[in-house]
Amino acid sequence: MQTHNLGYPRIGAQRELKKACEQYWSGKISYEQLEQTGKNIRLENWKIQKQAGIDIIPCNDFSFYDQVLDMTLTTGAIPERYADIAMRPDLYFAMARGCQEHGIDITAMEMTKWFDTNYHYLVPEFLKNQQFTLNSNKIFNEFAEAKALGINAKPVIIGPVSYLLLGKEKEANFDKIDLVENLLPVYLQILSKLGTQGAEYIQFDEPFLTMALNHKEKTAYEFVYRQIRKKFPDLKFIIATYFGGLQDNLALAVNLPADVLHIDLVRDAGQLENVLKAIPAHLRLSLGIVDGRNIWKNDFQKSLNFIQQAAEALGHERLLLAPSCSLLHTPCDLNLEKSLDAEIRNWLAFARQKIDELVTLKAIATGSTEEKIVSRLQENTRAVESRKTSVRIHNPAVQRRVQSIDQHYSRRKSAFAIRKAEQQRILKLPLFPATTIGSFPQTAEVRSWRAKFKKGLITAAEYDSLLKEETKRVIEWQEQIGLDVLVHGEFERNDMVEYFGERLEGFTFTTNGWVQSYGSRCVKPPVIFGDVHRSRAMTVYWSEYAQSLTTKLVKGMLTGPVTILQWSFVRDDQPRAQTCRQIALAIRDEVADLENAGIKVIQIDEPAIREGLPLRKTDWDAYLHWAVECFRIAASVVKDSTQIHTHMCYSEFNDIIKHIAAMDADVITIECSRSQMELLDAFAAFHYPNDIGPGVYDIHSPRVPSKDEMVALLEKAQAVIPAEQLWVNPDCGLKTRHWPETERALKAMIEAVTAMRAGVAATS
């Protein structure tokens, strides 16, 4: 029996990668210094795993921005618009972030969610007859680094079929999967060089094997792996599947010519029995028994039952133990949490602890009687039992309230058409109302105020005064440039989920529990350990203050229940739907308080609605039923005259558009600029009845679009959506941007709005 890891967090225990990338982008460090930071992180990760006793350690799981982008660069699938910077070291970051310097003005590649996680990847762009060439030595260099440490590491590579399926056709009338024969030679070159370097194991990540595949896609799997095995009979290939079960792809997966098949037993424990029945005699099985996406301590007894079941069928020698998926989705090290509640801390395991869990499980399963191993098993049993029996988990009053939910909780008083007329009578909004999504740049100065307040270096009154001054400044600036619906800027908030979790019961928080969302963007998800409820108002103070500064409308800003659920580490001892309904009731109470305080426009952000979709469409309806219900529970408490907004970003809406409509938000704002308004096609084809704000510029890139560029996007939007339904806004919140680019971009956006209004007036 062996242990192996599918991937380790790459941001560094203290977010060293984030800091280095941002310093490089701002010109504060050289590219060589950035590369050295990356190397230091890789070396530390390998040492941790080696010292823990992991048998097969991964390499090429590190990335400066995104592993899919790495593969795009490696295969030479570089979009033509980057040709002018193809020889510069900044090509990689230009593809990720866009480029607007030295006379170059290029948009970034499209970004979307990595399956049903909160990680974002850069979408490969494919043309008919796309040609691929080996274009990077990253894989080989990192393998050599590990080997220099005495580690014959396992290169982790996105499998060729999954890589193609992650991409998007940029021309009509062809299927990206048809490119597999063009792509395969690059993979063969990679494997040839790794074989020459002395690689023993290669891990191909093929998560699409857990999703519905058509005949052509299944044929592609059979073709590429037959060719790979034929060319390299002596290399050992691990095909890693995760985020779900194999289901109807079981026969395909077990019969691919690999040496090891990895399955995710956290997401689909029930598949083990079927896999054991179907697995051929030559194939070893990797059991994904340690949760790679959550932070709860592994239940050793449950995992040992899986191991025993598999060992009885296959024998110990044919088994590998692993996390369910890459540990990219978990924080680095629980040992860094010095102030976390001791009882709750005893229930948790981060990436470093999960590695230890694997090694311990192997020792127990293979009969070790070492004192430290026996002690770890006893400690684990006590921790698991402690969590089950803790009085801090359950709140009978919250449970009773959830049980009392009926249809009246999730229904607005009137249909949208009636509400819109009433809202227009009261709000008096112009054509193409202009707004932003919520946050404004949180400068180093603003962040320093929060840090000083937390350290006790300034008083609560001083902190409050500083935030009010910044809020007043941003309200006045929005009035000055001509926005129609203002926001207060959210300077008091650390994160759109963490801020609310800190004000809700049933949550706890880490100090260093950071995970990568995209690029240098890291988030610190709250931990939902018990029943959730609201004991006091969370946002009314700042919304009331901002509204008192202006006669214009100021939006109340809330994060929706599904997004709070999705972007937290969620308790796994009850259905997610139950936890989400608890959160929805808490947000409902806040919505009611905002309305009572005189706030006439309330935004309930739900960027994670689509992210939560199960990977199989057959499972969608059940999820969408409770997800939409939870949004409506939160939103439906208001009068017709109160306008409810929601925001969603980086999602495909075509296949869930009827459910988006069923949310019945008065206004939905969506990411659209990177896709050049393609996402609006779904709303147009569906004849979406409510108002829409398609994002007219990409806030995840530092480039500033021109007025004409935004006018062109709005004209595309107006071609498919009536002008009376259109709002104008950026793609997302502006928290991560800098003020100079924000000011220029929003002023250009207002100029675009003015041009659009003039155009409509001229044709009236």
Contact 547, 479 (CB under 8 A): no
Contact 43, 56 (CB under 8 A): no
d(CA 764, CA 585): 46
d(CA 725, CA 474): 27
What pairing do the DSSP bridges indicate for beta strands 120-122 and 125-126?
unpaired
pTM for the full model?
A: 0.89
Quick: pLDDT tens for 607-643.
888 889 999 999 999 999 999 999 999 999 999 999 9
d(CA 220, CA 761): 54
Residue for token pair 């896999």: 275
Q: Which two tokens stand for residue 710?
A: 């935004």
d(CA 546, CA 555): 9
Q: Which two tokens stand for residue 682?
A: 């779904």
pLDDT value of residue 538: 96
Quick: pLDDT tens for 177-214.
999 999 999 999 999 999 999 999 999 999 999 999 99
650 pLDDT band, cuts 50/70/90, is: low
Percent of the chain residues past pLDDT 90, beyond the cut: 83
Q: Which residues are annotated as a binding site?
A: 15-18, 113, 118, 437-439, 490, 521-522, 567, 605, 611, 647, 649, 671, 732
Per residue in 155-179, is it b (16+ CB within 10 Å) or e — as a string?
bbbbbbbbbbbbbebbeeeeebbbb
d(CA 398, CA 403): 9
At 355, the amino acid letter reads I
Catalytic pick among 645, 659, 700, 738? 700
Contact 667, 699 (CB under 8 A): no
Q: Which residues are annotated as a binding site for Zn(2+)?
A: 647, 649, 671, 732
Helix (H) or strand (E) holding 562: helix 561-566
Q: Which two tokens stand for residue 341?
A: 């509640």
In the three-class reduction of DSSP (H, G, I as helix; E, B as strand; rest coil), residue 218 is classed as helix
pLDDT value of residue 102: 76
Quick: pLDDT tens for 435-447.
999 899 888 899 9
Q: Which residues are annotated as a binding site for L-methionine?
A: 437-439, 490, 605
In the three-class reduction of DSSP (H, G, I as helix; E, B as strand; rest coil), residue 646 is classed as strand
Contact 585, 531 (CB under 8 A): no
Structural domains of the chain, with CATH = 56-234 (3.20.20.210), 406-496+540-763 (3.20.20.210)
Percent of the chain residues past pLDDT 70, beyond the cut: 98
pLDDT value of residue 651: 59
d(CA 59, CA 167): 24
| Mean pLDDT of the chain, nearest integer | 94
Identify the weakest region by mean pLDDT among 306-310, 377-381, 541-545, 605-609. 605-609
d(CA 169, CA 126): 5
Active site residue 262: no
Alpha carbon 135 to its chain centroid, in Å, reads: 28
Quick: pLDDT tens for 400-418.
999 999 989 999 999 999 9
**216 C-beta neighbours (distance < 10 Å), count:** 11
Q: Which residues are annotated as a binding site for 5-methyltetrahydropteroyltri-L-glutamate?
A: 15-18, 113, 118, 521-522, 567, 611
Which of 264, 275, 270 minimizes the C-alpha distance to 325?
264
pLDDT value of residue 230: 97
702 pLDDT band, cuts 50/70/90, is: confident
Which of 615, 523, 756, 564 minimizes the C-alpha distance to 242?
615
d(CA 295, CA 604): 27
